[in-house]
Structure 1
């Protein structure tokens, strides 16, 4: 059995006081302890950004790579060492901008990685430029008159890249965040956990429209596999399908009963409903939290390892000298 302290070293975490990254680190080590994979069988990879400092604070193997390349390095680590539990700590600017290509192909290939995507909708380490998840019109140091771009929605990008696992949590809800991380670690394949993180310096309160305690119950819904999709302060609201759309209803009104409320099936192979749930934004429909999609599929690293074994079985292992003696060669004098 392991404890959280087994995965955390004694280095001071150098994030701003109040930064949501502290909560992610504290939750990650608890999740690792719960999963039970030894620290020496765990590797944490990162790119560049505030979130990417995380490997420095872990009592595991770690690799702080270059901007956007964390997914590429993590791919190599997992493929070469398939027995390792590999985590990728990355931010919205790191993985969805310069690292976007590596991110989508890691999902498409279904490499067994646990990707923790810190989303604060800003470039924090470089002091406040807008990021790929910043909303249209967002005013920042690099967009003083407001951005003229539409943002990526990480869930939509993950589903579009044929991702088989997607979860979402907010930094202040460490219970759900830990559950998402544990589910990610137990999933075989590329698993993305988006964490809505607050940047107290450059984007303070960016998620407050859904994270504040006064509105969270009405603005979010915690999805659990096999359970009814119910939310609200009084737990009297639910989700139903109205044609091809999701609709919020009040149980006991307009003829709607508990039997009408959708049951969450995270394991459904089709991603249509999962995408619809993941795209709810907390306005007309509540923002979906928890494990939204969790579907089994063959992994890239397993397939590569199996392919190597199959080829070795067909061609028995031999020495380099055996190979040289077998092939035609000549001697130069």
Structure 2
């Protein structure tokens, strides 16, 4: 891999992590006394993807304008890697009128038609829409592909299996991605899934499947590139599972008493490990690392300022954009 490619992967991961940590800070800033999920500048649930950045960075590095991504309820890393407008996304998370959904959707229901990005709080919901996008791309002959992302727990849903089957039958240009962070909310994968790797399930639908171990962004990049180019050539779908890591709880406020391995989690963080590899290879030094970190922080803080300075939706328009309005 070229040095610049590896640096771009690193930049994407740092930007996504910087964003997640900033949202974490803002989310908890005014939830007290105690923890009231309805209080604060960011009301409601919050699911952060810190630790899973290698998946988004490695996959989205191969995408081009017009390609589509459907993500999960833990979506920020994929949104950032796919080029969703950071100001509008942040405003949406803060429930502001300038947001992607004018503040009506929140962080689990981001929708950016310009970037062809969407996500949902419904488990495995993104797989069927990705088929529709891939079907349209194939009919148009555009050469674009769809990426459908879900977690390892959702791989036991009917939508997962129905989507793999239909995509295989129609040879649709779609890459199915499974982020295996080992925990379906509080249930370990070994207690809910009959096979050691969801990538093995691809064989049942006659499509290629591969599992990347150890949250390795270089390996994700290489295999995703192979599968995406295959899809662009008209050879159909593939399934990529990545053994990744959830640094935080299923949602903010999750005490995580079900995780016996929590003490070991920080040392498994992929970003400092990748930093060490890049430094050892002579690709990164302290000055460049600081430059990348400062640029990410500046961009993220500007997006948060934009969101805070944006107006809240008017209560008089609570039902606007919900029902069709006659001209």
TM-score tier, shorter chain, comes to 0.3 to 0.5
| Structure with a larger share of its residues in helix | 2
| Structure with a larger share of its residues in strand | 1
With normalisation by structure 2, the TM-score equals: 0.46
With normalisation by structure 1, the TM-score equals: 0.45
